[in-house]
Amino acid sequence: MFFVISGYCIAMTAERSSTIGLFLLRRFARLQPALVACILVTMAAVSLLGLPGRDVSFADAVRNAFWYPLITRTPFVDGAYWSLMEEAKFYVAFASIYYLAPRQSLPIFGAYTALGATAFFASAWPNHPALVYPYLGIADPYFLFPSSLFFLMGIAAYRSSALIQTVVAAACIGVVFAVWGRTEYALSIALVSVFGLIGVQSRGLRIWRPITFIGLISYPLYLLHQNIGIALIRALYPFVVNSYARIGIAAVVVIGLAALVSWSVEHRFRRWIEDLVAGLARRITGRAKEPFSQARKPRPIPTDHPLP
């Protein structure tokens, strides 16, 4: 579901960004402040509470902040960070397609996904040492497959007809079962993906406020929930007998930490980073440009087109 929603949001962000540089800057400004804050919070919590087997060095924490896991073997500060690497690869791949052919970005990304599927099922170059860590082969490192299936569903959901959305979703879900077989795991992935598609198309619905709140803090919550949650559950064991109570306490603490990061860091520094980089770009190029935060928006594309 996370990747489906991401595909939808990134298609929308690309349409609102006049250049590929602006698009990538906005994604960096969106992700980086909260990432650094969550790395610091996680390192502090794990150091205080202890989590054998999941703790990393300070040097590795710094490497995580600079996205080293994309290019070299680096332990994640939190196991959930693997999806950030998929996100970063998706940003580059989709932006490269969109800013070359915006009106054909959906079919081109569909073809890109099909190439990844072909490489995956054909086991093409399975031992190829990918420049994009951490995988061998070419399907996942370079074509994002099978993650690209979910990004594709989200992209199609943004600006395509109900028929195209249905065809794309059905095809992708069919491939999900081809990859993972007729298993409960594949079924759960398919159902969650459909739920994500329904969610992104339900913008006009009134949503229960607690769910809206969780949505607003979802990025830092995702970065913090795993290691801190497990460390808290372990630390509470001598004091709280009931396992559900320990899980509940851990959940409340992690949600509180995520809300703090969201309020104090996530959105507070986003515009500042955009304007800072814009100023540096103006100095380097020696040309007066509009600040990235005030960049001209491209002309809207008619909604009857599959995707801009």
In a domain, 86, yes or no: yes
In this structure, is residue 305 part of a structural domain?
A: no
Does 247 reside within a domain?
yes
> 90: which 2 tokens?
């998706």
**Whole-prediction pTM:** 0.83
Count of the separate structural domains present in the chain: 1
Confidence band (pLDDT; 50, 70, 90) for 274? confident
Q: Does some domain include residue 231? A: yes
CA distances in angstroms from 72 to 114, 129, 213, listed in the order given: 27, 11, 36
Q: Which two tokens stand for residue 82?
A: 């693997």
Please report how many Cα atoms fall inside a 13 Å half-sphere around the Cα of residue 117, on the Cβ side.
Answer: 20
pLDDT confidence tier of residue 259, bands split at 50, 70 and 90: very high
Residues 6 or more apart whose CB falls under 8 angstroms from that of 88 comprise 67, 70
At 165-223, the pLDDT tens digits run: 999 999 999 999 999 999 999 999 999 888 888 877 766 667 778 878 888 899 999 99
Tens-place pLDDT, residues 10-58: 999 899 888 898 899 889 888 999 999 999 999 999 999 999 888 899 9
- Residue 152 lies in domain: 2-294
Residue 302 belongs to some domain of the structure: no
**Residue 33 falls within a domain, yes or no?**
yes
CA distances to 19, 29, 206, 215 from 212, rounded to whole Å, are 31, 22, 10, 5
Residues 106-148 pLDDT 10s: 999 999 999 999 999 998 877 777 777 656 778 888 899 999 9
Q: Residue 71 falls within a domain, yes or no?
A: yes
Compute the CA torsion angle 249, 251, 254, 256 (nearest 10 deg).
-80
CA–CA separation, 6 vs 273, rounded Å?
A: 21
308: in domain? no
Distance CA 259, CA 263 (A): 6
